[in-house]
Amino acid sequence: MKLSLTPKYSAPSFPVFNVQALMKKIIWVLGILLTFNNAFAQKLERIEPMFWFTGMHNPKLQLLVHGDHIANTTVSLNYQGVKLLKVNKVENPNYLFLDLELSPTVKPGTFPINFSLQGKKILSYAYALKNRDKSTNRIQGVTTKDFIYLLMPDRFANGDKSNDVVKGLAETALNRDSMYYRHGGDIQGVMNHLDYLKDLGITTVWMTPELENDMPQASYHGYAVTDHYKIDPRYGTNELYKKYVETAHAKGMKIIKDIVHNHIGTGHWFYKDLPMKSWLNQWPKYTQTSYRDQTVMDPHASAADRKQMLDGWFVPSMPDLNQTNPYVQNYLTQNHIWWIEYAGIDGLRLDTYPYNDPAYMADWALKLQAEFPRLSVFGETLVSAAANQAFFTGGNTVNRGFDTHLQGITDAVLKDAIYEGLNGKNGWVDGINRLYATLAHDFLYKNPNANCIFLDNHDMSRFYSVVNEDFDKYKMGMAILLTMRGIPQMYYGTEILMKNFSNPDGLVRADFSGGWEGDKKDKFSANGRTEKENEAYNFVKTLANFRQTNAALQTGKLMQFVPQDDIYVYFRYNNSAKGSVMVVVNNTDKEKNLSTERFAERTSGITTAREVITGKTMPFKEIKVPAKTTWVLELN
């Protein structure tokens, strides 16, 4: 047989395959490989709250877990007293929400939360439970005994120049010549001047929000939060904030934290990767709130108008959170509880209260009260009438059908009435009569003494400018503020006659001179103030410190008398006339004679009175009240 070296080829014979089935199998294998590849490249971006506390009233805890395709994993944990009730998957596979239940007997400690894929552990987070702090000087609450000082940390004092500019943030400019850039003030700067505030008679400090605002423009004001669990690094750290609260407490002072339920900033990490579409109030096209609080209370209101008020965005850079979403509710409520317990905060100011979902806010208030019975809470309500303000406060169940459990509000209507009393022309319902009529509406509130009263703040023209830099009117207004019912609040710099109008807003947010190294004048020191500034400072200091020692001003009732001959008189009193405070307001350009016989029901047995500012004692039967004066008289 002859072997041929030339191969003979014939048409190849292949087995018959189902091409569609083969492609499915290839895709499946590639999918498995890709999943494992992603899994081992995965990392946990964050778990929030990052730790929690034992001994809380509510045993339930919901953890937000964020990481690349974390929803593909299986979650497990093993710690005595902690149950994993449910793993919630949502629209975005980068999120899981873990429902835990903590036993009342659970012990502090750390345990791993494991994330597995195909039975193999790929990620783990060491979750800590910490002992609840039950120190008696924590979370004291803010009461009518207090005097609140509102400040913007970026504009008050720079105590740490090393954090003026933080690389990697959207805004790195530092420009004190611009009202809209960062100026460098921080928490350390506030801590450095707590003694100044205490000496002035301040008992409570309220800063505008200190949380991270990683926004490209105007990030200094704090109301566009980008991380709910992180102090803005240009202000300091979480640890420094806690130290700030503890330092204030050690000095006998209290701390209010300013929080925002309604919105976030567009730089927020979860805005960039939303857990679900319903995390925000979404519209077919951008829709701004109408700012019409009346639509929430109007029995004749259109549903569309009410929706725009509640669900419209505050401004384009502040997305509106959907507070009807239970995941959003849990996130916000737990965040606020976490900060209070972590730092020992005494009270909360709630930004843009009327814009929040009413049912959620009522539930939120109950949950906070259950954990912190002494915590004080008041909501911002920049509205036009006492009825509008009272609508949002607790106890108003007849009108609302439910109780908001909101203790008090920022009393803008009383502020407007004081302005009218100082600047207006006296008439039946004008001038000083407006103040009397406004207080006559206190029957609308369950507790008007829980309202925060004020003359200005960071969103409006400064008080000294509103009274046209009339020093007499300035003193009249400050005397009313510090003797009126409610909890008085003063905006930073008012004690040294800082001025300006709010158009634009930045003008009323100027730096406190002396808070920066190299400032030409140090207004924290008497030597750095002008003669008139020192007179204003000492006027406030005298009244504020008198208020701290006078029980009638701290806890007493209010009785007012109908203005006559353009003079308005009210009393703060407890059980006896002695120690009562009589306030006499003469807003005219003429000296007035005042007979005290009309006030016998509050002055029985009183023969002399001490004028608090000068310390002079005077006969009580007939009083000559100087023009443009508010006299504060301690009855003897």
Q: Is residue 87 part of a domain?
A: yes
Q: What is the pTM of this model?
A: 0.93
Helix (H, G, I), strand (E, B) or coil at 229: strand
For residues 449-463, one letter each, b for 16 or more C-beta atoms within 10 angstroms of the residue's C-beta and e for the rest, the string is bbbbbbbbbbebbbb
> What is the predicted pLDDT for the residue at 137?
80
> What is the predicted pLDDT for the residue at 32?
47
Of 136-140, 187-191, 447-451, which gets the smallest average pLDDT? 136-140
Task: Give the domain-ending residue among 82, 105, 130.
Answer: 130
Q: Are 472 and 536 in contact (CB under 8 A)?
A: no
Confidence of residue 301 (pLDDT cuts 50, 70, 90): very high
pLDDT in tens, 258-293: 999 999 999 999 999 999 999 999 999 999 999 999
> What is the predicted pLDDT for the residue at 573?
97
| Closest listed residue to residue 522, CA positions, set 511, 514, 512, 530 | 514
Q: Is residue 469 part of a domain?
A: no
pLDDT at 8 over 80: no
> What is the predicted pLDDT for the residue at 576?
76
> What is the predicted pLDDT for the residue at 509?
97
Q: Is residue 550 part of a domain?
A: no
Confidence of residue 559 (pLDDT cuts 50, 70, 90): very high
What is the gyration radius of the CA atoms in the chain, in angstroms?
31
What's the rounded mean pLDDT across residues 361-365? Answer: 98
Q: Are 359 and 402 in contact (CB under 8 A)?
A: yes
Q: Is residue 301 part of a domain?
A: no
> What is the predicted pLDDT for the residue at 38?
47
Q: How are the residues of the chain apportioned to helix, strand and coil, as percentages rounded to the nearest 5?
A: 35, 25, 45
pLDDT in tens, 499-546: 999 988 889 999 999 999 999 999 999 999 999 999 999 999 999 999
pLDDT at 1 over 80: no
Q: Domain count for the chain, please give it.
A: 2
N-term to C-term CA, the chain: 142
- Estimate the crossing angle of helix 238-250 against helix 326-343, to 10 degrees: 50
What are the E-state strand segments in 140-277?
A: 148-151, 204-207, 211-212, 227-231, 254-259
Confidence of residue 194 (pLDDT cuts 50, 70, 90): very high
Q: Does an H or E element contain 129, and which?
A: strand 120-130
> What is the predicted pLDDT for the residue at 25?
56
d(CA 568, CA 560): 8
Q: Is residue 312 part of a domain?
A: no
| Closest listed residue to residue 406, CA positions, set 415, 397, 418 | 397
Q: How many Cβ atoms sit within 10 Å of the Cβ of residue 84?
A: 16
> What is the predicted pLDDT for the residue at 6?
31
Q: Are 487 and 146 in contact (CB under 8 A)?
A: yes
Placement of tokens 């750390």 in the chain? 110
pLDDT at 419 over 90: yes
What's the rounded mean pLDDT across residues 310-319? Answer: 97
Dihedrals φ, ψ of 412, to 5°? Answer: -70, -30
Confidence of residue 5 (pLDDT cuts 50, 70, 90): very low
Catalytic residues: 351, 380
**Residue 45 sits in which domain range?**
29-130
CATH code (residue 81):
2.60.40.10
> What is the predicted pLDDT for the residue at 24?
58
> What is the predicted pLDDT for the residue at 39?
45
AA identity, residue 296: V
Task: Give the domain-ending residue among 76, 97, 130.
Answer: 130
> What is the predicted pLDDT for the residue at 283?
97
Averaged confidence pLDDT in the chain: 93
> What is the predicted pLDDT for the residue at 27?
52
Confidence of residue 497 (pLDDT cuts 50, 70, 90): very high
pLDDT in tens, 342-361: 999 999 999 999 999 999 99
Q: Is residue 41 part of a domain?
A: yes
Handedness of CA 464, 467, 473, 477 (dihedral sign): negative
pLDDT at 317 over 60: yes
What are the E-state strand segments in 169-270?
A: 204-207, 211-212, 227-231, 254-259
Dihedrals φ, ψ of 594, to 5°? Answer: -125, 120
Q: Could you give the C-alpha distances from 49 to 79, 132, 312, 350, in angstroms and in order?
A: 18, 15, 28, 21
Percentage of the chain exceeding pLDDT 70: 93
Q: Are 625 and 611 in contact (CB under 8 A)?
A: no
Q: Is residue 184 part of a domain?
A: no
Placement of tokens 């990697």 in the chain? 168
The DSSP 8-state label assigned to residue 524 in this structure reads: T
Percentage of the chain exceeding pLDDT 90: 88
Helix (H, G, I), strand (E, B) or coil at 378: strand
pLDDT in tens, 598-636: 999 999 989 999 999 999 999 988 899 999 999 999 998
Dihedrals φ, ψ of 562, to 5°? Answer: -55, 130
The H helix count followed by the E strand count for the chain is 18, 26
> What is the predicted pLDDT for the residue at 579?
86
What's the rounded mean pLDDT across residues 440-452? Answer: 97
Placement of tokens 């019409």 in the chain? 292
Residue 428, phi-psi category: left (phi > 0), alpha (psi -120 to 50), beta (remainder) = alpha
pLDDT at 399 over 90: no
d(CA 463, CA 493): 10
CATH code (residue 616):
2.60.40.1180
Task: Give the domain-ending residue among 74, 99, 130.
Answer: 130
Q: Are 584 and 421 in contact (CB under 8 A)?
A: no
Confidence of residue 387 (pLDDT cuts 50, 70, 90): very high
Of 39-48, 113-122, 284-293, 466-475, which gets the smallest average pLDDT? 39-48
d(CA 35, CA 438): 66
Dihedrals φ, ψ of 27, to 5°? Answer: -60, -40
Residue 329, phi-psi category: left (phi > 0), alpha (psi -120 to 50), beta (remainder) = alpha
β-strands 44-48, 60-67 pairing: antiparallel
Structure tokens at 598: 């009309």
Q: Is residue 572 part of a domain?
A: yes
